[in-house]
């Protein structure tokens, strides 16, 4: 399955292309990746990005490249479940300069809407480093709540990872995310 193209007012979410690799590898090699257990070598970053791209064929969901409608690359939004994750996760990362414009919120809302309406996923989580104030704020803006009972990725503890739970609105429909 190829990644579907999702469009919002300002953004396009689309399958990754080779030109996404350089900015994502740079992001994952920088100190900005410290909340994702980085920095990573180019080899490690390539494997991570390729796994998100390949997940579409294996799992029916995966990573999208985020770009403006004009084509400026902004980062990645992903629905994923690597083997060490106990649940399906909504994750995000933006390149330097893309934060603070509402792009992550807009992209995440489109991904959540797709997860509820197209995949019928009953819930998703976001695994967030407790020190990552921006990601915690984004999860909360999306309506996610801290789930202290949820399992964490293999080998991670409550001091390392906060689990935010995303659920469709009370009647089970996705319109709250549209």
Question: pLDDT tens for residues 104-119?
Answer: 999 999 999 999 999 9
Residue 178 pLDDT > 80: no
Query: Quick one: average pLDDT of 6-21?
Result: 97
The CATH architecture of the domain made up of 6-177 is 3-Layer(aba) Sandwich (3.40)
pLDDT on residue 171: 38
Q: Where are the domains of the chain?
A: 6-177
| DSSP structure string for the chain | -PPPPEE-SSEEEE---GGGHHHHHHHHHSGGGGGGT----HHHHHHHHHHHHHHHHHHS--EEEEEETT--EEEEEEEE--TT-SS-EEEEEE-TT-TTSSHHHHHHHHHHHHHHHTS--S-EEEEE-TT-HHHHHHHHHTT-EE-TTS--STT--TTT-EEEEE---TTS-SGGG-
Question: pLDDT tens for residues 29-81?
Answer: 998 888 888 899 999 999 999 999 999 999 999 999 999 999 999 999 999 99
């Amino acid at each position: 399955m190829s990644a579907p193209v999702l469009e919002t007012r300002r953004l396009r979410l689309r399958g990754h292309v080779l030109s996404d690799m350089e900015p994502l590898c740079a992001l994952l090699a920088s100190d900005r990746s410290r909340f994702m257990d980085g920095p990573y070598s180019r080899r490690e970053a390539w494997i991570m990005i390729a796994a998100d791209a390949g997940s579409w064929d294996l799992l029916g969901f995966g990573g999208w490249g985020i770009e403006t409608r004009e084509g400026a690359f902004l980062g990645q939004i992903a629905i994923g479940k690597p083997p060490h994750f106990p649940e399906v996760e909504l994750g995000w990362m933006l390149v330097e300069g893309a934060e603070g414009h509402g792009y992550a919120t807009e992209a995440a809302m489109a991904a959540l809407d797709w997860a509820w309406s197209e995949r019928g996923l009953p819930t998703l989580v976001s695994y967030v480093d407790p020190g990552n104030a921006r990601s915690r704020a984004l999860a909360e803006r999306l309506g996610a709540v801290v789930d202290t009972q949820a399992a964490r990725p293999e080998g991670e503890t409550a001091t390392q990872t906060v689990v935010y739970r995303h659920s469709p609105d009370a009647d089970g429909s996705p319109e709250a995310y549209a």
